[in-house]
Amino acid sequence: MARSQETETQGPAPSPQEARGTLGVGMVGYAFMGAAHSQGWRTAGHVFDLPLRPALAAICGRDRAAVDAAAARHGWAAAETDWRALIARDDVQLIDICTPGD
């Protein structure tokens, strides 16, 4: 008799993607390149076989209203207006810089 993947205490078995750990991503910048990188982070786990699942932890920009709107539009869990607050977050392990180079 085959064993069920579900028990009363454990619930359904996680999917392979859910079973992986996460990599908390923080991003500085929210305009054109920020939008492009947000899309990249959201879809990377569906395109590539990654050891960790990217999690959009927090996005950072100087303008509170604009960065809040970008966070909502692109699926970020939180928004910051100070890069020091972004890098101090416990849920961020990687920082993606998407600001103009000039």
**Encoding tokens for residue 75?**
């699926």
CB 69 within 8 A of CB 90: no
- At what angle are helices 32-47 and 64-74 packed, to 10 degrees? 30
C-alpha R_g of the chain? 17
Per-residue pLDDT in tens (0 to 9) along the chain, 102 residues: 454 454 455 666 555 555 579 999 999 999 999 999 999 999 999 999 999 999 999 999 999 999 999 999 999 999 999 999 999 999 999 999 999 877
Name the CA dihedral angle for 45, 46, 48, 50, rounded to a multiple of 10 degrees.
30
Q: What is the DSSP letter of 90?
A: T
Mind listing the domains of the chain with CATH numbers? 27-97 (3.40.50.720)
